[in-house]
Amino acid sequence: MPLDEALVRLLAVAPVAPILVPVRDGIGFVLAEDGVALTDRPVEPRARRDGWAVAAGDVTGASPYAPVALRGPPPWVEDGDVLPPGTDTVLMPDAVGADGDIVADAAQGEGISRVGQEVARGDVLARAGERLTPLRALALLGAGIETVVVRSPHIHIVGIGHGSASAVADWVAAAGGRVTSSDSARDVDSIIAALRVDGADAVFVVGGTGFGRADHSAEALARTGRLDAHGIALHPGESAGFGRIGAVPVLLLPGRPDAALATFLALGRPLLARLSGASPPEGVKGRLTRKIASTVGMSEIVFVRRTREGVEPIGGGDLPLRRLILAEGAVLVPPEREGYPEGEWIEVVPL
């Protein structure tokens, strides 16, 4: 099955229902609603550093050679304190000499946060369709927002005799999914039993997808639910497949690490994005340092790394682990192309 057709059929699912969670619990998940500041922060001027609160006009020109004497010692403030009335600037701690005179000045507003300087009412601090990052969570909490609405698809991973299942679990978690997992023996009945999972929004089966006598993932899916495809025009990942158990999509990933990663990038990550309502990820442009050759009629994933000269291909199918671990991104060569010449600017999908 061509990759484009496989994607259309696999992605015929609706996003999972949104849930309301505390901001910190939502980190890593995809937002279902914008996070919008409802008030200005700060609501009153505050110190941005430790020092002496003054009115800038009272200390203009102060220096060790021309100290300025105030009527009384300026108030000391700590970072985050509300500015005392009549002050608009915070001097550095060494701006006051031993005798109490001011020996350094500062521009008006230096060392303070004005009303709305950190966050202004109406600012969109986190957008629907994007994953909530720790920094955006910090901004939301700083704006007084304590909860967010997210989509968190539950992905159950069935590992069949391959260490790649743990890597797939990590990739799913990094893409914003909640992961549960189980292992299965290679026989059909064991895989069928492992496929009976309650509450999962999708099931990823890792391993047993080949066409050998000990590979039974596709057969188990066909007997448990519906097998839509077994064999995708994707390299590496030719033995991938998918189907459904009821309304739950099931993706069959090869167990070999390079093929598992290629299948996840081409099919698994798009499925997670659909279930979580995520915006399409943006690739980055890079200039090829060597040509990429590909077979017409096959979609091909080529793993790459960045160098000072540009983007260096490190290979696609049959890539040993010692080479695969160098990968920093991937290039999807569409089936109508024979590849890309050296020097061409291409889109790289970050891993």
Residue-level pLDDT at 148: 97
pLDDT score of 317: 79
User: Per-residue pLDDT averaged across 122-132, rounded?
Assistant: 95
Using alpha carbons, list the distances in angstroms from residue 260 to 142, 206, 257, 291. Answer: 40, 8, 5, 24
Domain 19-38+122-151 has CATH 3.90.105.10: yes
**Residue 294 is encoded by which pair of tokens?**
């590909």
Tens digit of each residue's pLDDT (9 = 90 or more) over 306-333: 999 999 999 887 889 999 999 999 999 9
To the nearest 10 degrees (0 to 180), the angle between helices 3-10 and 269-276 is 30
Report pLDDT for 315. Answer: 87
Which pLDDT band holds residue 280 (cuts at 50, 70, 90)? Answer: confident
Helices (H), the chain: 3-10, 134-142, 164-174, 188-195, 217-224, 257-263, 269-276, 321-324
In 3-state terms, what secondary structure has residue 123? coil
Q: What is the pLDDT of residues 334-345, one digit of tens each?
A: 999 999 999 999
Does the pLDDT at position 162 exceed 80? no
The domain ranges of the chain are 3-16+153-276, 19-38+122-151, 44-114, 284-350
State how far Cα 212 lies from the chain centre: 36
Would the pLDDT of 113 be above 80? yes
For the stretch 75-89, pLDDT in tens is 999 999 999 999 999
Residue 123 confidence (pLDDT) above 90: yes
Q: For the purposes of burial, counting CB atoms within 10 Å of the CB of 124, is it exposed (0-12), middle (13-18) or buried (19 or more)?
A: exposed
| Average pLDDT of span 239-261 | 96
Q: What is the mean pLDDT of the chain?
A: 94
Of the pLDDT bands very low, low, confident and very high (cuts 50, 70, 90), residue 282 is: confident
Strand order in the sheet with 147-151: 19-22, 147-151, 30-31
Is 349 within 8 Å of 341 (Cβ atoms)? no
pLDDT of residue 259: 95
Q: Which class in CATH covers the domain with range 44-114?
A: mainly beta
Q: Read off the tokens for 190.
A: 């064991």
Q: Which residue's structure tokens are 């849930």?
A: 19
pLDDT at residue 281 tops 80? no
pLDDT of residue 73: 87
**Which of 269, 274, 278, 271 has the alpha carbon at shortest distance from 31?**
278
| pLDDT reported for residue 231 | 96
Q: Which CATH architecture has domain 3-16+153-276?
A: 3-Layer(aba) Sandwich (3.40)
**How confident is residue 156, by pLDDT bands cut at 50, 70 and 90?**
very high
Residue with tokens 């009115």: 55
Residue 274's CB is within 10 A of a number of other CB atoms, namely 20
**If you average pLDDT over residues 108-113, what whole number do you get?**
95
pLDDT score recorded for residue 10: 97
Rounded distance between C-alpha atoms, residue 152 and residue 132, angstroms: 11
Q: In terms of Cα–Cα distance, which of 201, 219, 342, 331 is closest to 274?
A: 201
CA torsion, points 245, 250, 255, 256, in degrees to nearest 10?
Answer: 150
> What is the pLDDT at residue 341?
95
pLDDT at 161: 79
Which residues are CB-neighbours of 263 under 8 A, at least 6 positions away? 232, 234, 236, 237, 240, 251, 253, 254
d(CA 348, CA 301): 11
Cβ atoms within 10 Å of 128's Cβ, excluding its own: 18
Tell me if the domain spanning 284-350 has CATH number 3.30.365.10. no
pLDDT, one tens digit per residue, over 176-214 is 999 999 999 999 999 999 999 999 999 999 999 998 888
